[in-house]
Structure 1
């Protein structure tokens, strides 16, 4: 018996476990379907792609996407302590002020969330109006600084974009180097930042290799979870609350398996309906990326990262190619002058990143492309079966809305314009699988054939439709959801930092303490 059972030891779950157990009288059980994060490749930043489709990855994919030539799109998700923060590209981007303000949820404006961003942060640049020091999460400048990454920023400036040295400060617009979640050149996942330092707390129990199958709901209240470790059933009971932090795919999946979701679907699968909640699993959003992969003969790509000299530099100094997070540099832009904020993020990586990251690099390359930040298209997560071990059925409906395609065509053309600039010319000699031309029709066909997820799902248990502003599930007592699924709309940028801030605030909500005072005069536009 515990006070709180947290399902999922990813970014949100790790933060919650650390913050809730600060009170020694509170007993917390954190449940993770995967193993501990002892695999060496987790901690070598440049090796993140080697974790895809391993035992540390849920290895999901979409149902056939009707607007992407009926392709299935690969969706990696971490199945290990730290969750996807143990397999992602470590980019630290919070999002835009407009993202949080537009949610329209009390307590969740940008000014009210900024103190929670800062509380988590230990930024090596020091404290400022926008950044914190002394928090658990290391935020650092990248230590790879590949010449191609620098050339990308210079080429963007030649193409008319401004240079930006901090995307999380006064303005998002412009190009520069990303800050990353690394400490001394190694990955700083939410497990290493928040969880590892507190594993010896007697009031914290971490159960790994336990896949939760359903939530126990008795008389309208969540009282625990049922899971399985190998062939053994595991029952964990919660006196106060069950907290779902299983992510934008698995949190709604678990709710539906527990009888909370669209009644017609649950009944058709023979699952007793506890609560008819038609919006569970709806409102699914993601950032689609249009890949632009350029080849060249210069031996400076991550193909050489494993050379003895690079390995020595990494092991002895925590520097060099093996510290590369992939997208070292990039930037934010607008596909139309009348937009209130950027709608495109470019992510530039000194490697051949093809086939959704599943392709084997065969040439020295520089890869980048527009990640579409404000999709209008919405998808869904559904049950495919009443068997709780069956993977969820997912459709993102990428580019279902014509305006999303229009913006992607403009953004792709902006990307190819950067490739033509003098600074990047040495690294854009050829193009891997190029579009037939830059006409609207050919770019549309190229996007339909090659666009893929950049792994940022959100929105499937959104505030205002599934949970309230305190993240409580409307209609079931003792049950909250704390992860990217509660975002009404996806943030402009890599969402891990926002998930951490959501969990920091959720910890205070659960504790019942006074929220941190809102920031004043801090603008990200």
Structure 2
């Protein structure tokens, strides 16, 4: 018996376990389906792609995507302590102030969320109006600074885009180097940041390799979870609350397996209906990404990571290629001057990134491209079976709204313009993945057949639809969801930092802590025309 049972030890779950167990009288249990994060590949930043389709990955795919050539698109998700923060690209961005304000949920404006971002943060640049120090999450400037990443930023400026030294400052717009969640050159996952200290507390129990099958609901209240661990069934009881932090795919799946979801679908699969909630699993959003890939002969890509020189640099100085987070540099762009916020985000990888990272590069290369930041298209997560070990049926429906496709096409046009600049000339010798021409037809065809996920799934247990503004599941007492699935709309940027901030706020909501004082909004931003 515990006070709180948290399902999922990912970006949000580790935060909740740490914050809730700060109260010595609270008995907290954190349950994770995957193993401990003790693989060296997790903690060496440049090794992230080696974790794909291993024991540390849920290894999901979309169903056939109707607007992407009916392809099934690979969706890696962390299945390990730290969740996706143990296998991601470590980019620390928060999104736009306007994103949170547009959620329209009391207590969730950007001014109200900024204190939670700053509470987590230990930024090596020091404190300022935008950043905090002293928190558990180390945020640092990248130590790799690959020459290709530097060249990409210079090329973007040659193409007419301005610089941006801090994408979490006054404005997102412009190009520069990302800050990363690293500590002393190693990955600082949510498990490293929040769980390591907390695990020592006698009131926190962490259970790994334990697959939760469903939430137990009695008389309209969540009282625990059932699952299976190492071949044996288990039950964990929660006197106060069950909290799902299993992510945008698994949290709605668990709700539906527990009888909370679309009644018609649940009836069809033989799942007893507890609450008819048709919006569970709906509203699925992601940032569809389209990469250009070029090969060259210069030995500076991530393929050099295993050389004796680079291994020595990492072990002795905690610098060099092995500290690369992958997307070292990037930028935010408005495709129309009339837009108040960026609608494209660019990323640059110092490696030939083919087939969503599932194809090993045969030579040195560079990859860069953009994602659609504010997609209008919506997908869904549904049950494929009542068997709790079956993978959910995921359909993102990328580009169902043609406006998303047109934005993606503009992103490819802009990436091609950047590729033509002198700074990138040494690294764009051979096109390995690029459109056949710059015609609208060829660009659209390229986008449809080369789009990948940017790993930013959100929205499937959205506030105002499935959960209320305190993240309580509507229709069931004692049950909350706290992860990226509660976002009503996807933020314009990477989702790890926002998910951690959501969990920080969730811990206060659960414990009844008064909200932090709101931050004073920054000055109004001047509109800048997009070149």
TM-score, normalising length: structure 1 = 0.99
Shift in Å, 1:524: 8.6
- Per-residue CA deviations over 1:147-206 (Å, capped at 9, x if unaligned) read 110110010001010000000011000000000000010000000000011111000000
CA distance in structure 2 between the partners assigned to 1:39 and 1:341 by the alignment? 40
Deviations 1:101-138 (A, max 9, x none): 00000000000000000000000000000000000000
**Mapped pair 1:159 → 2:159:** yes
Unaligned runs of 5+ in 2: 526-531
- Determine the structure 2 residue equivalent to 1:170: 170
Task: Look up the match of 1:219.
Answer: 219
Structure 2 Cα separation of the partners of residues 203 and 312 of structure 1 = 41
Residues in 2 aligned to 1:434 and 1:261: alpha-carbon distance in whole angstroms: 42
Whether the aligned pair in 2 keeps the contact of 1:285 and 1:458 (CA below 8 Å) is yes
1:291 alignment partner, SS class: strand
Question: 1:282·1:379 contact (CA, 8 Å) conserved in 2?
Answer: yes
Q: Which residue of 2 aligns with 1:456?
A: 456
Give the match for residue 488 of structure 1.
488
Preserved contact between residue 171 and residue 523 of structure 1 (Cα < 8 Å): no
What is aligned with 2:48? 48
How does 1:310-389 map onto structure 2 within 5 Å? 310-389=310-389
| Alpha-carbon shift at residue 371 of structure 1 (Å) | 1.2
> Any idea what SS the aligned residue of 1:423 has?
helix
Shift of 1:521: 2.9
The separation in 2 between residues aligned to 1:177 and 1:183, in whole angstroms, is: 17
**Contact 2:294–2:433 (Cα < 8 Å) also in 1:** no
Cα gap change, 1:524 to 1:307, in 2 (>3 Å): farther
For the 8 Å contact 2:157–2:175, the answer to whether it is kept is: yes
Cα deviation code 1:445-481 (max 9, x no counterpart): 1111111111110000000000000000010000000
Map of 1:77 onto structure 2: 77
How far 1:58 moved relative to its partner? 0.2
Question: How many pairs are equivalent?
Answer: 525
Distance 1:357 1:100 in 2: 31
1:184-223 correspondence to structure 2 within 5 Å:
184-223=184-223
Deviation at 1:230, TM superposition (A): 2.4
Aligned mates of 1:179, 1:158 — CA distance in 2: 23
The CA deviation string for residues 270-291 of structure 1, in whole angstroms up to 9 with x for no partner, is 1110000000000000011001
8 Å CA contact 2:137–2:194 kept in 1: the answer is yes
Q: In 1, Cα distance between the equivalents of 2:182 and 2:524?
A: 24
How far residue 395 of structure 1 moved from its aligned partner, in angstroms, is 0.1
Q: Give the direction of change, closer, same or farther, for the CA distance of 1:79–1:524 in structure 2 (3 Å limit).
A: farther
Q: Please list the CA deviations of residues 336-378 of structure 1 after superposition, one character each: whole Å capped at 9, or x if unmatched.
A: 2211100111010100111011110112111010111111000
Runs of 4+ in 1 over 4 A off after TM superposition: none
Q: Separation in 2 of the partners of 1:32 and 1:246?
A: 9
1:16 aligned residue: 16
Once the two structures are TM-superposed, the CA of residue 523 in structure 1 deviates from its matched residue by: 5.5
Partner of 1:67: 67
* Cα separation, 2, equivalents of 1:339 and 1:30: 43
CA distance in 2, matches of 1:188, 1:371: 25
Secondary structure of 1:222's aligned partner: strand
- The separation in 2 between residues aligned to 1:524 and 1:41, in whole angstroms, is 43
Question: Do 2:29 and 2:207's aligned partners in 1 also have CA atoms closer than 8 Å?
Answer: yes
Q: How well do the aligned residues superpose, as a CA RMSD in angstroms? A: 0.7
Residues 222 and 479, structure 2, Cα contact 8 Å, conserved in 1:
yes
The secondary structure found in structure 2 opposite 1:290 is strand
How many angstroms does 1:258 deviate by? 0.3
Deviations along 1:206-250, whole A, 9 cap, x unmatched? 010000000000000000000101220010000000000000000
1:433 aligned to 2:433?
A: yes
| Residue deviations 1:290-328 (CA, integer Å, cap 9, x gap) | 010111111111111110000000011110000000010
**In 1, Cα distance between the equivalents of 2:451 and 2:47?**
23
CA distance in 1, matches of 2:524, 2:317: 35
Q: Partner of 2:35 in structure 1?
A: 35
Report the secondary structure of 2:233's partner residue.
Answer: strand
Match of 2:183? 183
- Give secondary structure in 1 for the equivalent of 2:464: coil
